[in-house]
């Protein structure tokens, strides 16, 4: 990962400054970013969906991995300031399509089917996102949800659903805020 971090040293430094100046960006930790990057590279998806762009830090890492397999990243953000900040931060990323608005309203209109989804928006809504997403997942797609340990109570309905559903096999990793990684097996 050092080679990539060196290559994008200026972009990553800018994210670091923004994060230090604004605690309400809630960017994923570096370890989670690198795990996402690795999962995308291994999975080699065609279409990636991210719910919760913030200023685009996780989007940036998804985009770097997407570039290695010719994939595209759709990403959704409801907060206008963060959406615009992400627009600046991602202006050189050709494979990112930003959507502004509530994920609950945008997901039904998305035209793609996804092979990789990263959920990192309103925790209470994870259950709604996944239900809206079901008919937009390709077989064997990966759905990665953040904060499943840090916000265990709030995402309980999501976890209960994922863990009991015959449509998913899943594992929760105790790294950073807790990541649930689910495979859609239909």
HSE, side-chain direction, 13 A CA sphere, residue 186? 9
Among 40, 43, 45, 58, binds ligand SAM (CB under 6 A): 58
Closer CB to ligand SAM, 122 or 136, in the complex: 122
Query: Which of 99, 66, 64 has the alpha carbon at shortest distance from 83?
Result: 99
**Shortest gap between Cβ of 84 and ligand SAM (angstroms)?**
12
Q: Per-residue x/- mask for ligand SAM, residues 108 to 147, rule CB under 6 A?
A: ------------xxx--x----------------------
**Region of 35-43, 51-59, 88-96, 169-177 interacting with ligand SAM (CB under 6 A):** 51-59
First to last CA, the chain: 33
Q: Minimum distance between the CB of residue 63 and ligand SAM, rounded to whole angstroms?
A: 12
78, 96, 110, 148: residue in contact with ligand SAM (rule CB under 6 A): 78
From 34-42, 73-81, 132-140, 157-165, span contacting ligand SAM (CB under 6 A): 73-81
Q: Where are the alpha helices (DSSP H) in 22-98?
A: 30-43, 57-67, 80-89
Region near ligand SAM per CB under 6 A, out of 71-79, 90-98, 160-168, 169-177: 71-79
Instruction: Name residues whose C-beta falls within 8 Å of residue 137's C-beta, 6 or more positions apart in sequence.
Output: 113, 114, 115, 117, 143, 184, 186
How distant is the alpha carbon of residue 170 from its chain centre?
17
Q: What is the DSSP string of 92-124?
A: T-TTEEEEES-HHHHGGG----EEEEEE-S-GG
* Binding residues vs ligand SAM (CB under 6 A): 26-28, 52, 54, 57-58, 76-79, 82, 102-104, 120-122, 125
């Amino acid at each position: 990962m050092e080679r990539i971090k060196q290559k994008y040293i200026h972009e990553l430094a800018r994210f670091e400054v923004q994060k230090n100046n604004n605690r309400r960006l809630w960017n994923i930790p570096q370890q989670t970013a690198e795990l996402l990057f690795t999962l995308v590279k291994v999975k080699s998806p065609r279409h990636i969906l991210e719910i919760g762009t913030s200023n685009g830090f996780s989007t940036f890492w998804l985009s770097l991995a997407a570039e290695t397999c010719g994939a595209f990243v759709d990403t959704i953000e409801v907060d206008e300031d963060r959406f615009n900040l992400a627009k600046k931060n991602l202006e050189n990323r050709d494979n990112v399509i930003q959507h502004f608005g509530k994920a609950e309203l945008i997901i039904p209109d998305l035209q793609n089917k996804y092979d990789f989804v990263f959920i990192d928006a309103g925790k209470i809504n994870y259950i709604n996102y996944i239900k809206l997403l079901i008919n937009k997942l390709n077989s064997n797609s990966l759905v990665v949800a953040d904060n499943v340990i840090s916000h265990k109570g709030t995402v309980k309905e999501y976890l209960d659903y994922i863990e009991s559903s015959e449509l998913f096999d899943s594992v929760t990793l105790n790294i950073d805020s807790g990541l649930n990684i689910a495979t859609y097996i239909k």
